Amino acid sequence: MTAVTTEQMTTTPTTGPGADGTGDGRDIFDITIIGAGPTGLFAAFYAGLRGAKTQVIDALEEAGGALTAIYPEKYIYDVIGFPKVLAKDFVERCLAQADRSDPTIRLNEEVTELERLDDGLIRLGTSRGERFSRTVIVCAGVGAFEPKRLTVDGVKELEGHGVHYFAKRVEDFRDKDVVIVGGGDSAVDWAVTLEPVARHVTLIHRSKFRAHEGTVAELEASSVDLRFPGCETVAVRAGSDGHLSGLTFKDAAGETHDIAAQELIVAIGFVADLGPLKTWGFEIQRNQVVVDPLTMATNIPGVFAAGDIATYQAKFKLIATGAAEAVTAVNHAVTSYDPKARLDAGHSTTIMEKRDKVTAATAN
């Protein structure tokens, strides 16, 4: 995958004389997008289509949001134009599309503060300094997400030594004894994905599966050793090399079982934490930012939200709906900093053709 990494990010200075031609040293963007998940990346492309000077800021080291962090090797079936696509491949396409608009992408940078200044600009305080923008589109998903941890003695010491909360590469599990804990989409997807690759896969779960029916059917037809309901991990063991070597689980009858495991994937869910976003003055409902669905505007002037972070009546948290919301947010952001601009820019074909003509005329 050719995801943009921290090293590749644009290193535009936050301050410096005349960075934007205003002479006051502030590098001012038309639109700043918080979050480089699928919604943020599509918003970045669309903002470029509208001619906006755009930056995208994400706390994670790689772009792609939940798709990169939680399920890079899971297939997605409900995004337009792809009958079936791996999440990591979809992120690659999103990045290539965003790249057409040449946004500044800043990774490994958390936005911690948002305030409107007296001159109407928005100041973002980040883990790397200050950023300035005419408008902001918050595409922050569920905020900073943290996996729920397994509360078993010794498991913390084995994180990175066989215990995973984010599994990324299938190849890391080849020919290993793998145990997966959990019963949601992530756990079931990983069990099905690793079954043909690993030596042996065991799935341990406390209750019923809460995953997509089709994948559960696939799981039940596979050779995965299913230990549910009422089963839970009670101990982990390390080998002499300090790497995970096995674990003990208790079944519904209270009987304990020792099994070999070189790799343990804990997929028991995430704790969503909006973190600093909660303090910026948004109207928040159930950990989401309330928006007007006609404009995607939040209650803070000049600040819009799209994707999983945004809520309104009858909201669907999907990649496809996030993309549509991004278009609405960008169009309204553009008319908010440039009231003379048209709300509807028309079709991309027309815009790109005009742009290509201008480029050709300038070149001659």
- Using the rule CB under 6 A, is 192 a contact of ligand FAD? no
Which residue is associated with the tokens 């996030």? 322
Residue 143 C-beta: closest distance to ligand FAD, Å: 5
Spell out the alpha helix ranges (H) of the chain. 38-49, 66-69, 87-99, 185-194, 213-220, 319-337, 348-363
Closest CA to 178 of 204, 159, 145: 204
Closest CA to 95 of 67, 115, 135, 70: 67
Cβ nearer to ligand FAD, comparing 146 with 353? 146
175: left (phi over 0), alpha (psi -120 to 50) or beta: left
Using rule CB under 6 A, residue 202 touches ligand FAD = no
141 counts as binding ligand FAD under rule CB under 6 A: yes
Q: Which is nearer to ligand FAD, 246 or 322 (CB)?
A: 322
Q: Is 59 in the site for ligand FAD (CB under 6 A)?
A: yes
Write down the least CB distance from residue 246 to ligand FAD, Å. 27
Span near ligand FAD by CB under 6 A; candidates 13-21, 38-46, 216-224, 353-361: 38-46
Residue 12 near residue 27, CB atoms below 8 Å: yes
**Sequence-ordered strand ranges (E) for 46-121:** 54-57, 75-76, 85-86, 104-106, 111-116
> How many chain residues touch ligand FAD (CB under 6 A)?
38
Of 14-22, 65-73, 113-121, 172-180, which part binds ligand FAD (CB under 6 A)?
65-73
Q: Which residues lie near ligand FAD (CB under 6 A)?
A: 34-40, 57-60, 65-67, 70-71, 74, 76, 78, 110-111, 139-144, 185-186, 276-277, 307-308, 317-320, 322
Binding-site residue numbers for FAD are 39, 58, 71, 111, 145, 308, 349
